[in-house]
Amino acid sequence: MKSLLSLIFGALTATGVTLIHQTLPPFGLMVSLITTFTGIWWVGRYYGKKRYKLWALLGWLIVIVRAGSYGVGQELLIQGDNAGSALLLVGFSLGILAVLRKI
């Protein structure tokens, strides 16, 4: 059950990050990156194990990859501009850093 809740929390975090990263550049991107790191780190603090951070990162990654690929109507939620590329690269790197960080 904790794994499922961690996965859902990571997906909800990614949904919020996806929607806010383009607002008021560069502050929206900074808020998104801080939220990514803090959300994944918080899951580990709440449940006390790194494996739940991995589940949260997996949920985050599933939503981010889906938002960064073309949909049925050829729409993109994360574009290939500077903010979108930074969200994909730096956000994933911060997620890995949050997983590797001690609880």
pLDDT tens figures, 11-58: 999 999 999 999 998 999 999 999 999 999 999 999 999 999 999 999
Strands (DSSP E) along 1-103, which ranges?
none
Residue 70: the pLDDT is 93
- For the chain, the average pLDDT equals 95
- 47, 39, 49: which is closest to 102 by C-alpha? 49
Question: Given this model, what pLDDT does residue 102 score?
Answer: 87
pLDDT digits 0-9 by tens, 64-80: 999 999 989 999 999 99
**All structural domains of the chain with their residue ranges:** 2-100
pLDDT at residue 42, as a whole number: 97
Closest CA to 85 of 33, 11, 24: 33
